[in-house]
Structure 1
Amino acid sequence: MGPDLILKGGRVIDPSQGIDTVTDVAFSNGAVSRIADDIAPGNAEVRDVSGKIVTPGIIDLHTHVYWGGTSLGVDPEMFARDSAVTTMIDTGSAGPGNFAGFRKHVIEPAEPRILAYLHVSFAGIYGFHTSLMVGESHDWRLMAPRLAAEVIEANRDVIVGVKVRIGRHASGPSGIDPLIVALDVAREMDLPVMCHIDEPPPSYEAVVAMLREGDVLTHCYRPFPNSPVDPDGTIRPEVLKARDRGVYFDIGHGMGSFSWKTAKAMMAAGFPPDTISSDVHAFCINGPAYDQLMTMTKFLHLGMPLTEVIERSTAVPAKALQRPELGTFGPGNVGDASIVSVVEGEFELADVRGLVETGTQKLKAEGVVLAGRWWHGE
C-alpha cells in the first residue's frame, strides 16, 4: 500500500537520526513511513517543498494555550500555524480545579497536539495580567497535592508533569515551599517537575539544587536578578551540578525571561539550553517573544548551528517529555512535520529588557503536517 502524503525535495533535518540532506519524506496511516530519494507518488498527495527545510514536528515545551480559560491563554491553532509547531506543552495554565475544562474545551478540539504540565496550585495561573498580578503560589491554601495526583491519574494520556512557579512574584511569602509540594506530587506520580524561577528570593541556586534528573528548570537565561551567571560570566556552581545530574534547562522566553547579556555569557561558557521554548502567552505574543520560530531565530543569531536549534526544538523536548514517538522521522513514529524557511535580511531581535540586536536570518513558517496529512500552508 502506497503513501498518503509525500513531502518532495526539501532539506530534511532530523537530528534524532543524524539526517541532514535533500530528500523525500513519506507518510502513511498517520505515521512516518519512509525517507528516501525520489519516492514514487502512486496515489499520494505530493507537496513540493524544494528550497525549504523539513523537520520532525516542532515541539514548544513551554506555552500557555488555555484560550478563554485564563487571561494569558492564546489560540493554539493560530499559534501552531504561525509558528509551524505541531506539539504545544501548556505549562501550568490549569490546575486540578479547572483542568477538566481545559481538556474538554481546548485540548480535545484542537487539531495540533496539546500536552500539559498540571499546576500544583488549585486553579493554575489564574491572576496573570498586565493590570493585575497575583502569584498563585503566594497562598499556601491553594496548594492541592492530593487533587493534583487524582487529576494526573485520570489524565495520564495528556499530562506529562507537574508545574510550579517560584520567586518573589510567583510564590512571594511562600518562598521555595511550593516546590517541595510539587516535587512530592511528582515523586508520587512518577513524573517530572517543570519549575519557573523569577526574581529572588529564593535564589536560582536554591531552586536548581532541589531539581532531580528529568526535571525542567524553565527561564534558564533570565536576566539579573537571579541570573545563572555571575557578573564576570562565570556559571554558578549549582547550575553546573544540576546539569551533571540530568536537569533540563529550558529557555521559556516569555515577557521576562530572555536576556541577551545572559544568553551570550551562557553560550560563551559552553552552556547552551537543552530545550528552546517560547513561553508564548497573551502578553508576549506581540513581542518580545512572538512565537517559537522567533525564539529559535535568536539562537541562530547567537551562533548555534541550525541543526542544533532544530534538535533543541524536536528531539530533546521529546526526550524530556518521555514521548519517543515525537520529534523524529523514524519510520512508524507520529507523522508530524514542520516546514520552514530561512529568510535573509535585517531583523530586529529584542530581549525582555528592550535590548535589540540585529539579526541577518529569520525562520519563517511554510507548512505543517499533522498525523500524516497536510494541515496548513500553501
Structure 2
Amino acid sequence: MRHSHAIVNIITLYHKKVRTVNEKFVLRHVKRVSGEEIDIEIENGKIAGITSAGEGCGAHVVDGCGAYVSSGWIDMHVHAFPEFDPYGDEMDEIGVKLGVTTIVDAGSCGADRISELAAHREQAKTRVYAFLNISRIGLVRIDELSNLEWLDRELVKQSVQAHSDFIVGLKARISRSVVGASGIEPLRIARELSYDTGMPLMVHIGSGPPDIREVISLLQRNDVITHYLNGKKNNLFDAEGRPLQEFSDAIGRGIHLDVGHGTASFSFKVAEAAKQHGIGLHTISTDIYRGNRLNGPVFSMGNVLSKFLYLGYSLEETIAAVTTHAAAWLGKPELGRIQVGDRANLTLFTLDNKTVELIDSEGELRVTNQVIEAKGVIVDGEFIECEVRS
C-alpha cells in the first residue's frame, strides 16, 4: 500500500535526521480525519505551528504522504500490570507500540499493589492512568469480589488520596464469576466509596446473577458501563435486540458507555442492534492484555476500530471515540486536540483498502475491505514506530 510505504519513510527520516526531541521538524502532508491536509511543526516536544500542507518550516522535513493524523489515541480499558497473568501486559506493548499514547488500566490493582502500578508508569513512554479495583487484592485472582473482607474501605480512600494524579475512578467487576455469593453487595459498597472519594465508577458487566437491571439501577451520571456490547445472556438488550428500558433510562441520566472489547465481551450482533437503535459511540476501548493481543480476538486498537468502520460508523465518529470523547471523560480535553502550544501528542495512521477477516468475542467472522492501521506516534516530540497487528 502507498500509505504504509510512506510511513516507513517517515520512520527512516526521523531516526536518521531528527536525533533529539528538541530539534524543530515538520510533519508534512498529513491529513485530519476531516480530510484537510496540513503540516505540523514540532519543536521542544510541543506543537509549534499548524499550516496548510507544504507550508510548514523546520530544520527537518518528514513527509507523511497523506497519512492521517489525530490527537493521540486513548484506550480507556486495558490491563497493564505486567506481573499479573493472564490479565497483564507491558505498558508500551499495549500503548505507543499500537498507536495509543494514553492508556487507562481498568482495575488490575487494588490497594495492595496500586503503588507498584504507579511506579511502573515512570518507565513507560505511554501516558498511564488507572481505575482502582475496590478489592484490595485486584486481579491476583478473578473472583476478587467474592469475599467481602477483601473490600477495605479505608485502604481505598487512602489509595485515592495517595495517587490523586493517577487514579481516575473506581472499578467493580460485577458478574457471576467475580462476585460469587456476594451478589450485588460489592456494587453497593462501590457506590458508597464513590460518594466518599468523589470518584466515578467503572462497572464491568457480564453473566448474571446479579441481574443486569439491578446493576444499572445503581449507576449514576459519569459512571462507566464497560462491555456494553457483550453477547452474554445477561446483557443490555432484549431477545429482539431492543435496549432494555432500564438501559435507556441510564443513558438518559448520563451513564458513559465503553466498549471494552476483550476476549469475551464484544458481539457484532449486539453492536449492530446498538447502532440500529442509535446507541453510542462514547468510547471504544480494547480490554487488551498479553493473551488477546498476541492471539486475538483483540490484537490492537486499530483492529478494534476497524470493526466499527465495518459496522458503518464514519471515520470521524470512530476516531472521536478514542480521542475527544475519551479526553472529555478524563477531564483532560488537551489530550483530544491538536493545538499550537500543546505537547506533541499525535497518532499517525492509514485507512487501507484491503480484505481482512475480523472476529468478535463470540467467534463470529466478518470480512471488511477497509482497515485502520496505526503507523506511529509522536509523544513529546519523539517519533515511535508502531507494530502492526491485524
Q: Find the counterpart in structure 2 of residue 131 from structure 1.
A: none
TM-score (structure 1 length as normaliser): 0.92
Q: Find the counterpart in structure 2 of residue 122 from structure 1.
A: 136
Q: Find the counterpart in structure 2 of residue 226 from structure 1.
A: 234
- Please state how far the C-alpha of 1:59 moved relative to its aligned partner: 0.2
RMSD of the TM alignment (CA)? 1.8
CA distance in 2, matches of 1:188, 1:207: 20
The answer to whether structure 1 residue 297 and structure 2 residue 275 are counterparts is no
Q: Find the counterpart in structure 1 of residue 107 from structure 2.
A: 92
The amino acid across from 1:9 in the alignment is H
Q: Find the counterpart in structure 2 of residue 16 from structure 1.
A: none
Q: In the TM superposition, what whole-angstrom CA distance separates every residue of 1:201-246 from its partner, at most 9, and x where no partner exists?
A: 1122222221111111000001031221111121111111111111
Q: Find the counterpart in structure 2 of residue 4 from structure 1.
A: 24
Correspondences of 1:28-177 after superposition (within 5 Å): 28-37=43-52, 38-43=54-59, 45-104=60-119, 106-127=120-141, 134-177=142-185
> Is this contact kept in 1: 2:145–2:178, CA < 8 A?
yes
CA distance in 1, matches of 2:88, 2:61: 35
The amino acid across from 1:336 in the alignment is N
- Please state how far the C-alpha of 1:377 moved relative to its aligned partner: 5.4
Q: How many residues align?
A: 364
SS of residue in 2 equivalent to 1:117: strand
> Higher helix proportion, which one?
2
The counterpart of 1:272, out of the listed 271, 280, 285, is 280
CA distance in 2, matches of 1:298, 1:377: 19
CA distance in 2, matches of 1:244, 1:82: 37
> Is this contact kept in 2: 1:3–1:33, CA < 8 A?
no
The amino acid across from 1:296 in the alignment is L
> Higher strand proportion, which one?
1
Q: In the TM superposition, what whole-angstrom CA distance separates every residue of 1:244-276 from its partner, at most 9, and x where no partner exists?
A: 111100000001100111011111111123100
CA shift in 2, pair 1:103/1:50, >3 Å: same
Correspondences of 1:182-331 after superposition (within 5 Å): 182-285=190-293, 286-331=295-340
The amino acid across from 1:164 in the alignment is A
CA shift in 2, pair 1:71/1:377, >3 Å: closer
CA distance in 2, matches of 1:5, 1:51: 17
The counterpart of 1:25, out of the listed 27, 30, 40, is 40
CA distance in 2, matches of 1:192, 1:135: 22
- Please state how far the C-alpha of 1:291 moved relative to its aligned partner: 1.7
Q: Find the counterpart in structure 2 of residue 340 from structure 1.
A: 349
> Segments of 4+ in structure 1 off by > 4 A?
none
> Is this contact kept in 2: 1:74–1:282, CA < 8 A?
yes
- Please state how far the C-alpha of 1:69 moved relative to its aligned partner: 4.3
> Is this contact kept in 2: 1:70–1:93, CA < 8 A?
no
CA distance in 2, matches of 1:239, 1:334: 38
> Is this contact kept in 2: 1:5–1:373, CA < 8 A?
no
> Is this contact kept in 2: 1:275–1:317, CA < 8 A?
yes
CA shift in 2, pair 1:241/1:4, >3 Å: farther
Q: In the TM superposition, what whole-angstrom CA distance separates every residue of 1:40-70 from its partner, at most 9, and x where no partner exists?
A: 3233x43211221101000000000111245
The amino acid across from 2:244 in the alignment is R
The amino acid across from 2:58 in the alignment is G
Q: Find the counterpart in structure 1 of residue 377 from structure 2.
A: 368
Q: In the TM superposition, what whole-angstrom CA distance separates every residue of 1:97-154 from its partner, at most 9, and x where no partner exists?
A: 11111122x2111111111011110021112xxxxxx311111111122111111111
Percent identity over the alignment is 30
CA shift in 2, pair 1:70/1:155, >3 Å: farther
- Please state how far the C-alpha of 1:317 moved relative to its aligned partner: 0.7
SS of residue in 2 equivalent to 1:149: helix
- Range with greater deviation from structure 2 (193-202 or 26-35): 26-35
SS of residue in 1 equivalent to 2:264: coil
Gaps of at least 5 residues in structure 1 are 14-18, 128-133
> Is this contact kept in 1: 2:97–2:385, CA < 8 A?
no
The amino acid across from 2:278 in the alignment is G
> Is this contact kept in 2: 1:200–1:226, CA < 8 A?
yes
- Range with greater deviation from structure 2 (176-185 or 313-322): 176-185
Gaps of at least 5 residues in structure 2 are 1-21
